[in-house]
Every structure is written in structure tokens, then in C-alpha cells.
Amino acid sequence: MSSYGSTAPKRTATPPTSSLASSLPIKPSSSAASLTPDDLVITTTVSPPPLSSVPGVAGGLPAGNIAGMGGAGLGAQPSVNTLDEPVLETLLRDLRRIWHKILQVLRPGSQPAADVLREWDLWGPLLLCLGLATRLSLTAPSDQSSNVFTQVFAAVWIGSAIVTLNAQLLGGRISFLQSVCVLSYCLFPLLAASVVSLLVPSIIIRGIFVAVAVWWSAVASLSFLSDARLENRRLLAVYPMMLFYVFLGWEVLISKSLFG
């Protein structure tokens, strides 16, 4: 029997807990008795690795033709990807650039030298060198044709390298390939004079054309190399350049004509 005013203790049923909840260590606290199995939710947060650590991705952008992306999605026009365009279109574009540089040689000073030197290439110089060497070997004796071709081809590249090295040793601020490109493009007047010499047998007329071509090549080279900043040593750089063009002009002058 119970005394007056006493109450019987209430028995609270404990809900069954799962094996996961029972295996987790829970510190006893004031709110531990109110936890249910649904409250024991384990969340896992996975942070993605930085883009710089992913292979093939550099600086947050996919590796490859980054310039071709051109800020896609920002309203910018993507640049032309030469890997996807036809081969003929690529060749025609390169030929147009070569012709544009030849026009700059024919009109010295029509465009700032820095703009021409900034877009240097070696395809144009190679074509001009092959054209001049082939032209001079056509009228050479049959037993000396290959020797003439080799001599002219080597003279163009070795001579351009020597003139460029001389300008750099004098303090000229121009890269090696830029100078070789300019000196070789300026061979176009001599190539034109060699074609005239092929058709004109008179040595006097040929001499006039060759002299004009040598002068034109030298003037065009000086206009392009004016940004080399040679200052008071320009004469030391011009002298080997003139020897380079005079030697090639002499080769053109002594070559035979088809009519004499």
C-alpha cells in the first residue's frame, strides 16, 4: 500500500536502436535521452580536388589550344583553329602572308618595321632561296648545276646567319630568326633580276637590273632593321650586309641567258 499523495513511477518504453546507433559512442548529456535512430544521420562531404592537380588541366582551363577558346561564353569570337580547317585554306593563308611581306620589300617604309618583324616566318625565305638557287642552276653547265644550286643555297643561309650574328655582336636588339627572315625576304629584287637575266642576253642591261636589285635589297633591309638600335655602329653592320647582296648579285650577273 502506498501513502497518501505518493504517485507510482511511470515506466517509459525505450525504442529499439539499430546496430549502427548502438555502436557509435555517444557521450551522455541532458539531451541524449531524446535522441531517436532517425537523428543519427551521418553526412559525408567530399571536396573536389583543385583544377591545377587534375591531369590535362592547367590554370583552371583545359590544356591544349587555349588561344583557340578565346573566352568562349563571354561574347568573344574564338580564333581560327588550324587543326580543323582544310589544308588548302591553310596554304592559301600562308601564301597571302608571304606575298604581303614581299610587298613590304617592294615598298620599303610603307609599314612600321616592328610590325613586320613581329610576324616573322621561314617559309617565305625558304621559297625565295629555293627559287634563286633553282634559277641560277638552270643555265649552269650540266656538270656544275648541282654545285651552283648548293653554293647559292648555302650562301643565302650562311650569309644571313653571319650578317645577323654581326649585328647582334654590335649590340643590335633583334632576334636571330627575325633578322634571317628580313634578309631573306629582301632577296626578292635579286630573284626578279635573275628572271630578267634569264631572258636578256645583253650584259649591260643585265648589269643595270642587277645593280638596281642590289640597291633595292639593301635599302629594304636597312628600313626593316632600323629598329635594331645600332646607333653609331650602323656602318659596321651595313658593310657585311652589302657584301652579302653584292655576292649574290654577282652570281646573278655572271649566270647565262637562254638567248646567249
Give per-residue pLDDT as tens, 174-190: 778 888 888 889 999 99
CB distance 56 to 62 below 8 Å: yes
DSSP 221-256: HHHHGGGG--GGGHHHHHHHHHHHHHHHHHHHHTSP
Residue 238 scores a pLDDT above 70: yes
Banded pLDDT at 204 (limits 50, 70, 90): very high
Enumerate the β-bridge partners of residue 58.
61
User: 24-39, pLDDT tens digit by residue?
Assistant: 454 554 444 555 555 5
Q: Where are the beta strands (DSSP E) in 38-108?
A: 57-58, 61-62
Q: Where are the beta strands (DSSP E) in the chain?
A: 57-58, 61-62
pTM here is: 0.63
C-alpha cell of 138? 638552270
Please report which residue ranges of the chain form alpha helices under DSSP H.
19-23, 87-106, 113-118, 123-138, 145-169, 176-185, 188-199, 203-224, 234-253
Among 18-22, 38-42, 110-114, 192-196, the minimum mean pLDDT is found in 18-22
CB distance 162 to 179 below 8 Å: no
**What pLDDT score was predicted for residue 151?**
92
> What span, in angstroms and rounded, lies between the C-alpha atoms of 210 and 132?
13
**What pLDDT score was predicted for residue 74?**
34
**What pLDDT score was predicted for residue 248?**
93
39 exposed, middle or buried (CB, 10 Å; 0-12, 13-18, 19+)?
exposed
